[in-house]
Structure 1
Amino acid sequence: MAALPQQPIVPARQAVARLRSLWQRWFLWVLLALLVMVLLGTVVWLAGRHEADQVQAALDRDTSDAVAELRGGLQRNAQSLNALMTDTRGRVRWPEDEATALLRAHREWVRLEWRDPQLQLRAAADSPYRVRLFDEATREASRSDIALACAAASKLGGAAYSPSHYVPVGSGTGVEVMEICLPSEAGDYLIASYAMRETLIELVGPSLRRGQEVAFAEPDGTRLATVGAPRRGGNRIFTSQQLIDLPGVTLMLRVDGWRAEPDLFPNLLTGLVTGVSIALISVLILLARDTRRRLRAERELADTLAFRKAMEDSVITGLRARDLQGRITYANPAFCAMVGFSLDELIGRPDAPYWPTELVHEYQQRQTLRLAGGMPPREGFESVYMRKNGTRFPVLIFEAPLLNAQRVQTGWMSAFIDVSEQRRVEELSRASQERLQASARLATVGEMASLLSHELTQPLAAIASYATGSLNLLDGEPDGAPAELAMALRRIGEQAERAGQVIRSVHDFVRRRDRTREAVSPRALIDAVLPLVQLQARKLGVRIDIVLERDLPQVLCDRTLVEQVLLNLARNAMQAMDVAGIDERVLLIRAARGGGSNSSSVDSAGEARRWLEFSVADIGSGISDEVAKRLFTPFFTTRSDGMGLGLSLCRTVVEQHGGALLFEPNRPRGTIFRFTLLAAVPTAPLPLVTESTSP
């Protein structure tokens, strides 16, 4: 039976452990947040309860004061009625004026009546502040209530009140009314009708009605009359009720107070505690967020470090860091593999075991310069290092200051490139260029073949003519004119030597040989190409001027290659003047001290060597800006029969010799090409020597 594949237990355990760690980490934060929320809610609830109790107590006090005030008002009204009843004693007629004045003083009364012992109406007076409320029908409907009040008054021997009753006034409205009855000694009764709502308005202070609702109610809770502010939506109700025991009837005074909800911060202390609690919760939230950000930043930093480590381990460029004391603090695997030493063998060492012993002094000077604050060149510099097995190899070094997060330099960071393979490729490229230059020289010889065939006919024809004349002189005059014969023979020798020199120059130019550098005088270089230059100069009508300083030192160069540079520049200059509109065509070849190089040619001691400058100037049409941008580009040419390799090969030859090939406009017209070569023996400058060769 085949065994079942085992499940990946380790990742599952890791996930469980990660969840447990996450739960333990966040459990305390959640518990603390819940405790703070419970504390905040409890404080706010207790504060709200305390304020509600305070509001209720204040409302109860106000209600008690209002009841006392209402009792006092009713007693004063009873005394006023008693005084009116005393004034009517012994009178046959009703004191209408005193009753009207009393109604004007008491707005809560709507009617005063004088009735006999059988409760028959003798006289009545209505309040001037409202329309007449009672008529005969409505008044007879309330006779039972009046009888109850008067019976209680007779029994008590003083004022008594009737239960309240509703008196309609039309249009669906009405007034809640209560009567007070006072008996007299003669058996008559004085009855006053109270409007319940106006009683609350007149006998209860206005401060109680401000923002609250005040009402008369029966003991069972039925509302009889209400004054004050109506209830608003969303408000909380605070209610206070107190009984009013009156002779003959019992009433209840009810006060309802409104307060807006919710009242989250009832007082300053609660607000302060709430603010502190909210601040604490905010701090907890910010702290949790900061913790989460810090954990995320730590993970990102770990990922970044892992990525940088993987990147540094994968690059083939060597990296090395040193502190301000020159000790190695870091090296990547590529650098360790480059020099053959392990990281433990390099870290913390003040010296460099990969320095060759013969170059230790030079490296010490360079390191001293770096530690002193000297800035290295941005384009880098070349040096030679030694592997652990003793082999030397060239390196290209780039250095930059090592700055920390506060932009303070803590050392130097260096990048190393092993250029051994690059040097090998350059050697192969040089060999290929030499073969290409040989091919270019052969092509040049092909172009000059027609010129040579034309120019060589003249000296050869002259040789033949002088030879024929010499034979004629010898045959016709055997004893005559030995001087002429000698002159003719010398002419024959000169022309033959000239023809041989031209042929040898062409042969030496195209002959391929090994590259060797030798000390050659500038004059010899110019004389070697002059016969070939003169061939084209005669055809184009160009005058050749040669300017040389006296006692110029020799130059260290590959003679054949430099001659090719001079020849190509001279031919290009003459072709530039092969245009219409130039009356006098002059080619200036000059050699003098001075100039420089675009590449570093300074030895370890820093001693600069002297340079010789060769220049070829024409007075042609010049070089435009568009052509100047691509002038040295391979296979770029402005001639229909050109290959576009001449100037590119010339610059390569000059740069291989450590010099530079440049060009600039000639004044007033034309172009000057300059290149520099290293002088073998520098000497002091001397006056110029000028030669001129006509076409």
Structure 2
Amino acid sequence: MNPLGVTRPLTAQRRFLNQARAKLDESLPWDSGRRSLWAALIALVLAVLVTLVWLAGRYEASQVQAELEQDTSNAVGDLRGGLQRQVQALQALQSAHFSPPDWQTRALELLRDNRDWLRVEWRDPSWQLQAFADSPLRAPAFERIARSDVLNDANQACQRTKRLNGPAYSSTYFLPQSDGLGMEVMELCLPVMQAGDLLGYMVVTYSLQELLTERLGATFGRKNELSFIEPDGTRLAIAGTQRREQRIFTSQQLVDLPGNTLLLRMDGRRGAPDLFPNVLTALVTGMSIALITVMVLLTKDARRRQKAERDLAEALAFRKAMEDSLVTGLRARDLNGCITYVNPAFCQMVGWEAEALIGKNAPMPYWPPEMVDEYQQRQAIRMAGNVPPREGFESVFMRQDGERFPVLIIEAPLISVQGEQTGWMGAVIDISEQRRIEEVSRASQERLQATARLATVGEMASLLSHELNQPLAAIASYANGSLNLLQDPQAVPQTLDDVHMALRRIAEQAERAGRVINSVHDFVRRRDQSREPVPPHALLDAIAPLMNLQARKLQVRVHMRVEPGLPSVWCDRTMVEQVLLNLARNGMQAMDTPPCLDRVLVLQVRRTLTHAEDAGVEFSVTDLGAGIGADVAAQLFNPFFTTKPEGMGLGLSLCRTVVEQHGGQLEFEELQPKGTVFRFTLPVADSGKPSLSKA
């Protein structure tokens, strides 16, 4: 259980988050209305922009159309003026009395000056041809078709001349040419009058195509297309620029001539109006686009802000839910020690409402009265910054009803976004339950220790019975041998020496039994044991008599191999001797089986393979028995496990415990082709080591 992160069930958090989402959902209708207003504003601006551009286009189109109509009107005026000047030139020609050859010469000059004239004729009142002249600038107009075949229109024009008493124009007609093409022509009939008498007629044949080109092409034909058309739209003559793909502006005006009326059409060569026809429209359109862009950016920014506000609200709600769900009390204080924030867990812990705690300074309402001076001093030290951050300390708080309870306070500096310390943030944990659990654990530990002491009594009894078995057996053997020697009536002096030697052995084994009792007693009580530097060969020499006695009984040859120059080892001599004796006895008993013919036990002492200064001395006991099976090896060192009918199962367990107390480890491995090797390591004696060490 983490005391700083324990939370109540997540249902409280979910409930709080659901309430926060419900509050956010309540604001959605207003958000929908605001979105509708934004949409309406954007639609209105777009409508204004489209309308403005459309009106500007219409205005430009009207301007272009008005300009084209003005050009058409000017063209009609110019055409009328030119025709009037030509009539005056003809009147000047008829005012003088020329002979036919002279008249013809003068007419040719006029034909050269007026390219739109095809033929000039002088006819008498009876309509007889007196003289004529064809334009020298082109082939004769009446080359393919006879002039007499097309005199009807000219004759009608001259008839109208009589009624009008002035020049008259005929209707247009098509005149075929020798190249297979043709042209639309028109006749002008001008009466020749003298003193009120009709002397004849001047007839001029016009080419409508040349009339447009010569009279209007240079002025209006560069940017417009000019044409004479019939009322049904049939084009009679065309001049000027011909770009049909852009010909969208058209103006038509009547050219009223005496006796005839022509319809002049002018098509503008300019295309449709530009999207932004003038600077003002372009400026307004640009401002409108900029306004729309700003509105779009503001809309996006509003959405981002709304999303950020929603995320912030959810984050605050989630953090508030976590703070309210904590069972750890949170308390924030400013640099002066005044409380600025407490969470519900802290209020529930001390029994005070948040309003009663916020703004309070020392002494706090939850401080026990008898500890106010101590707490004020401790707070002054902490406010001065003399305490390491995030250092936990225990204290005692008092609830509103006067109950005292222990708490653990972990306080750290409160750092702002600018990296400045603005106060202190503390986590307060009620450790009353922890103290109760510790008391229960302490009581349980005492009961376990009492039980362990009772078990130790049984263990000590078992150890004593196990370890004293060999010394007592040796004493009994020596005593029986001595009695047998003393009962022999023929005893010789050498026999007495043997008896004395046996008695000394008995005394040594009795002393050994006493040391075993003391060592086992100290081992069971885990008290400080006496250790001393002991030469390795001395350990082997001490157990040699008992080991040889067992070897003779089991017919085992014992080989001791001690590496020369070995240092002394630091150990409890009696316990290590007992370990070596137990391992040697187990090895000899492992070879006490009929199939084992080569019964050799090897005790070897050498340096460990690591040649460091603190390297130890390795002791190994090797037998040539049948080895240890896998099922036995798994529980070989378990207490009370044995494979011997008379065994107690404590020997190897005690041997391992003794070796581990000396800082080593008892190990074994199989020997090929048969046998087992037990080995352990003892530390090298150092002159600086004390004579006592903790077991």
Give TM-score, length-normalised by structure 2.
0.60
CA distance in 1, matches of 2:29, 2:689: 96
CA deviation vs aligned residue, 1:126-183 (integer Å, no higher than 9, x gap): 5566666535646445312111333445666764422222335599964221122345
CA deviation vs aligned residue, 1:321-350 (integer Å, no higher than 9, x gap): 223333222222222223333323321222
Which residue identity does 1:71 align to in structure 2?
R
Partner of 2:142: 134
Partner of 1:165: 173
Q: Does residue 66 in structure 1 map to residue 113 in structure 2?
A: no
Partner of 1:226: 238
SS at match of 2:142: coil
Partner of 1:558: none
Asked whether the equivalents of residues 217 and 225 of structure 1 are also in contact (C-alpha less than 8 Å), the reply is yes
Q: Which moved more, 1:14-23 or 1:407-416?
A: 14-23
Partner of 2:516: 499
SS at match of 1:147: helix
CA deviation vs aligned residue, 1:385-418 (integer Å, no higher than 9, x gap): 42413433243636463434x5554333333444
Residue 214 of structure 1 is aligned with which of 226, 233, 237? 226
Asked whether the equivalents of residues 394 and 407 of structure 2 are also in contact (C-alpha less than 8 Å), the reply is yes
CA deviation vs aligned residue, 1:108-143 (integer Å, no higher than 9, x gap): 334444545444556655556666653564644531
Once the two structures are superposed, the pairs formed by residues 528-567 of structure 1 within 5 Å of their partners are 545-546=569-570
Which residue identity does 2:521 align to in structure 1?
R
Partner of 1:175: 183
SS at match of 2:238: strand
Residue 250 of structure 1 deviates from its aligned partner by 3.0
Residue 498 of structure 1 deviates from its aligned partner by 0.7
Residue 197 of structure 1 is aligned with which of 193, 209, 213? 209
Residue 315 of structure 1 is aligned with which of 304, 316, 326? 326
C-alpha change, 1:236 and 1:348, in structure 2 (3 Å) is farther
Asked whether the equivalents of residues 405 and 432 of structure 2 are also in contact (C-alpha less than 8 Å), the reply is no
CA deviation vs aligned residue, 1:344-392 (integer Å, no higher than 9, x gap): 3321222344456559647854774466397624xx6352342413433
Q: Identity across aligned pairs (percent)?
A: 46
Q: Which moved more, 1:187-196 or 1:36-45?
A: 36-45
CA distance in 2, matches of 1:473, 1:644: 44
Which residue identity does 1:59 align to in structure 2?
L
CA deviation vs aligned residue, 1:576-610 (integer Å, no higher than 9, x gap): xxxx999325999x9xxxxxxxxxxxxxxxxxxxx
Q: Does residue 278 in structure 1 map to residue 289 in structure 2?
A: yes
Partner of 2:424: 412
Partner of 2:392: 381
C-alpha change, 1:363 and 1:146, in structure 2 (3 Å) is same
Residue 194 of structure 1 deviates from its aligned partner by 1.9
CA distance in 2, matches of 1:400, 1:30: 50
CA distance in 2, matches of 1:126, 1:373: 128
Asked whether the equivalents of residues 406 and 430 of structure 2 are also in contact (C-alpha less than 8 Å), the reply is yes
What is the total number of aligned residue pairs between the two structures? Answer: 551
SS at match of 1:320: strand
Which residue identity does 1:161 align to in structure 2?
Y
CA distance in 1, matches of 2:302, 2:569: 85
CA distance in 2, matches of 1:330, 1:214: 92
Q: Which moved more, 1:357-366 or 1:333-342?
A: 357-366
C-alpha change, 1:672 and 1:381, in structure 2 (3 Å) is farther
Residue 255 of structure 2 is aligned with which of 232, 244, 251? 244
Asked whether the equivalents of residues 382 and 396 of structure 1 are also in contact (C-alpha less than 8 Å), the reply is yes
SS at match of 2:606: coil
Asked whether the equivalents of residues 397 and 404 of structure 2 are also in contact (C-alpha less than 8 Å), the reply is yes
CA distance in 2, matches of 1:88, 1:407: 119
Which residue identity does 2:522 align to in structure 1?
S
C-alpha change, 1:691 and 1:127, in structure 2 (3 Å) is farther
C-alpha change, 1:313 and 1:25, in structure 2 (3 Å) is same
C-alpha change, 1:253 and 1:447, in structure 2 (3 Å) is farther
Once the two structures are superposed, the pairs formed by residues 237-636 of structure 1 within 5 Å of their partners are 237=249, 239-257=250-268, 259-261=270-272, 263-288=274-299, 290-291=301-302, 293-295=304-306, 297-351=308-362, 352-355=364-367, 358=371, 361=374, 364-365=377-378, 368-369=381-382, 372=385, 376-377=389-390, 381-388=392-399, 389-395=402-408, 397=410, 399=412, 401-404=414-417, 408-422=420-434, 456-457=468-469, 459-460=471-472, 463-464=475-476, 491=508, 494-508=511-525, 524=528, 545-546=569-570, 583-585=606-608
Residue 54 of structure 1 is aligned with which of 44, 58, 63? 63
Asked whether the equivalents of residues 114 and 191 of structure 1 are also in contact (C-alpha less than 8 Å), the reply is yes
CA deviation vs aligned residue, 1:24-61 (integer Å, no higher than 9, x gap): 75676566556655654565455445434433443343
Residue 265 of structure 1 deviates from its aligned partner by 2.6
Q: Does residue 688 in structure 1 map to residue 668 in structure 2?
A: no
CA distance in 2, matches of 1:586, 1:443: 40
- Quick one: higher RCO (CA 8 Å, sep 6+), 1 or 2? 2
Asked whether the equivalents of residues 66 and 205 of structure 1 are also in contact (C-alpha less than 8 Å), the reply is no
C-alpha change, 1:691 and 1:508, in structure 2 (3 Å) is closer
Q: Which moved more, 1:55-64 or 1:128-137?
A: 128-137
C-alpha change, 1:284 and 1:413, in structure 2 (3 Å) is same
Partner of 2:152: 144
Which residue identity does 1:225 align to in structure 2?
A
Residue 262 of structure 1 deviates from its aligned partner by 5.5
- CA RMSD of superposed structures (Å): 6.0
CA distance in 2, matches of 1:284, 1:178: 67
C-alpha change, 1:462 and 1:400, in structure 2 (3 Å) is farther
Which residue identity does 1:401 align to in structure 2?
L
Partner of 1:631: none
Partner of 1:653: none
CA distance in 2, matches of 1:444, 1:497: 19
Partner of 2:630: none
SS at match of 1:583: strand
Give TM-score, length-normalised by structure 1.
0.60
Partner of 1:678: none
Residue 204 of structure 1 deviates from its aligned partner by 0.9
CA distance in 2, matches of 1:106, 1:452: 159
CA distance in 2, matches of 1:79, 1:340: 125
Which residue identity does 1:688 align to in structure 2?
G
SS at match of 1:142: helix
Asked whether the equivalents of residues 474 and 506 of structure 2 are also in contact (C-alpha less than 8 Å), the reply is no
CA deviation vs aligned residue, 1:489-531 (integer Å, no higher than 9, x gap): 974663232121133235435xxxxxxxxxx8xxx35659x9x
Residue 196 of structure 1 deviates from its aligned partner by 1.4
Task: Please say which structure displays the higher CA radius of gyration.
Answer: 2
